[in-house]
Homo-oligomer: A and B are copies of this chain.
Amino acid sequence: MRATVIHAPHDIRVQEVPDPAIQQPTDVVLRVLRACICGSDLWAYRGESARQPGQRIGHEFLGIVEETGSGVNGFAVGDLVVAPFVWSDGTCAYCAEGLTTSCPQGGFWGSVGSDGGQGEAVRVPFADGTLVKLPAAAASDDRLLAALLALSDVLGTGHHAAVGAGVKPGSTVAVVGDGAVGLCGVMAAKRLGAERIIALGRHQARTDIARTFGATDVVAERGEAAVAAVRELLGGEGAHAVIEAVGTEQSMRTAVEITRDGGSIGYVGVPHGSGTGLDLGVMFDRNIALRGGVAPVRSYIPELLPDVLSGTIDPSPVFDLTIGLDEVPVGYKAMDGRTALKVLIKP
């Protein structure tokens, strides 16, 4: 089959690789119908996250079950399914608690020896614990497929941030980061009943999406000016709930400064750089909590899926460029250069 392989920073190629095959009774082989490129893939693309030459890449995909291992009970050939961005066994204590990302048997698509999502097919370990079935009719609905693909990462990650930030009915919310995760954080906050949602971002195409997702205000300033602007909007106070969807020292510093005393930062931006951006003295004096991390999106799919299917929420506008598999290198360039927000792949 053909799949995306990362050879070195900025050297991403689509090439022939071995066809996936059932290795364990709990495996499924899945034909990819839709995949996409994640902001976090760019860290590998830029060489800021280490990869071994020849690793696959891509961790967001949905598709059709093509073959099932003898121990798979929940899926049959032909099923339309979505995969979260890590696989998990579905039976351990962490999976039972909903923290599927801490499953001892879990793993990340594209890690050494595993398939990545940006290819024609994927061997899925622990399919019963990992995959979630979708209605077959969705396969012929382009818009809905894109919305459902967001369940593999960005929608669940935005939801995790909103949950970590403690969003509840009536909350004031501020969202740091105007990427697909930040925008999905806006959507998740709105879904959880936030009264006021301030999106921080300078790119109007993105903040326009933020508004359609539920943002009531947009702050285009950065750094100290952004802090002042948010506080002015909130009568001098910070926001009850702050979503940090970037992962840099500066973004975390901003997040701390715009959180109301007693509020929480829900952080889902993968931490980068040596500093945390956390001023613990300030957080202590003001009782600011920090909650979040890698999102156990598998656990959130059953809650979010009905709202996506009913159209109550529609994250599909985060995809602003659609390409074929052979164009994946072009897709990375477009996201790296910020000419695309999030790239959808039709293999």
Which positions in A face B, CB cutoff 8 Å? Answer: 94, 97, 99, 101-102, 164, 252, 261-262, 264, 267, 270-271, 276, 278, 280-281, 283-294, 296
* Contact between B290 and A294, CB atoms less than 8 A apart: no
Q: A278-B276, A280-B271, A284-B267 are in contact. Are A290 and B289 (CB under 8 A)?
A: yes
| Least CB distance, A291 to chain B, in whole angstroms | 4
Contacts A267-B284, A271-B284, A289-B292 known; 15 new A-B pairs at CB < 8 A: A94-B262, A99-B261, A101-B285, A252-B280, A276-B280, A278-B280, A283-B290, A283-B293, A284-B292, A284-B294, A288-B293, A289-B289, A289-B291, A290-B291, A291-B291
A157 CB to closest chain B CB (Å) equals 12
Complex formed: what's the CA distance from A261 to B99 in Å?
A: 8
Q: Of B102, B287, B290, B292, which is within 8 A of A102 by CB?
A: B287
In the complex, the count of this chain's copies comes to 2
- The complex places the Cα of A64 from the Cα of B102 at a distance, in Å, of 54
Complex contacts, A252 vs chain B, CB 8 Å: 280
Question: Across the interface, which residues of B come within 8 angstroms of A267, CB to CB?
Answer: 284
Min CB distance A317 to B, Å, is 27
Is the CB–CB distance between B278 and A278 below 8 Å?
yes
Residue of B nearest to A289 (CB): B291
Given contacts A276-B276, A276-B278, A290-B289, whether A284 and B261 have CB atoms under 8 Å apart is: no
Name A293's contact: one of B271, B276, B285 (CB within 8 Å).
Answer: B285
| Contact present for B289 and A164 (CB under 8 Å) | yes
List 16 A-B pairs, Cβ < 8 Å: A99-B261, A101-B287, A102-B262, A102-B286, A271-B284, A278-B278, A278-B280, A284-B292, A284-B293, A285-B293, A285-B294, A287-B292, A287-B294, A288-B293, A290-B290, A291-B291
